[in-house]
Amino acid sequence: EADIYQTPRYLVIGTGKKITLECSQTMGHDKMYWYQQDPGMELHLIHYSYGVNSTEKGDLSSESTVSRIRTEHFPLTLESARPSHTSQYLCASTGTETYEQYFGPGTRLTVT
Amino acid sequence: QKEVEQNSGPLSVPEGAIASLNCTYSDRGSQSFFWYRQYSGKSPELIMFIYSNGDKEDGRFTAQLNKASQYVSLLIRDSQPSDSATYLCAARGGDTGRRALTFGSGTRLQVQP
């Protein structure tokens, strides 16, 4: 059972607003990830972190930024939301000793 | 060539039949492999993982790995309509493991009642 949480679950926001998507896990996992997925499409890795104060960009270029100040927390921020950012954002984490990757429930973002 | 390849489907099987989902990977250094189930609009859920050549069984699910052929499969016995979902195959590369898993694009399974 994975203990990884994302808030909000759904967000509808206007163009130009700043938003932060929250992701937290209580498993003590050191590696955390953000994926973007459009309906019926494949997962795209946009950011990852393998520990506190380390972040890297993923395979898909994204205008979002992330931070990792605490092990359990990996928020994603969009400084100025655009309709092209409309998508589902999935957070995931993996432990050091195991390689199973667990996903949070996701945030469905709609930018109008 | 994608690093992890799956047939997009849909794969349609009757209720009670065996569904066979296949996946190939290109990185020979890949160490371990994962199968996820994703219902429409939901996040992926880990079903099984396999590290060694051969079969691994868990309930109605059997994962099969053949590293020489770079081939992974998932068998679902006694398929139920509730098994209808997209199944994602993922591989962990042979590096330090700092990177995320590499996912295939998924196979959509439809189990007909």
pLDDT of residue B29: 86
Q: Kindly report, residue by residue over A1-16, the tens digit of the pLDDT.
A: 569 999 999 999 999 9
| R_g (Cα) of chain B, nearest Å | 14
Task: Give the closest residue to B38 by CA, choosing from B75, B85, B82.
Answer: B85
Q: Kindly report, residue by residue over A56-107, the tens digit of the pLDDT.
A: 998 887 889 999 999 999 999 999 999 999 999 999 999 777 778 999 999 9
pLDDT of residue B100: 77
Chain A, nearest residue to B92 by Cα: A99
pLDDT of residue B1: 66
Instruction: Please compute the mean of the pLDDT values over residues B44-48 and round it to a whole number.
Output: 95
Across the interface, whether the CB atoms of A43 and B43 are under 8 A apart is answered no
* Shortest CA gap B77–chain A (Å): 23
Instruction: Please compute the mean of the pLDDT values over residues B56-77 and round it to a whole number.
Output: 97
Name the residue among A41, A48, A100 with its Cβ closest to that of B49. Answer: A100
Across the interface, whether the CB atoms of A58 and B100 are under 8 A apart is answered yes
pLDDT of residue A59: 82
Strands B61-66 and A76-78, bridge-based pairing: unpaired
- Report the side by side order of strands in the sheet with A4-7: A4-7, A19-25, A76-78, A65-66
Q: Give B19's contacts (C-beta < 8 A, 6+ positions apart).
A: B11, B13, B75, B76, B79, B83, B109, B111
Chain B, nearest residue to A33 by Cα: B100
Instruction: Say whether pLDDT at B64 is over 70.
Output: yes
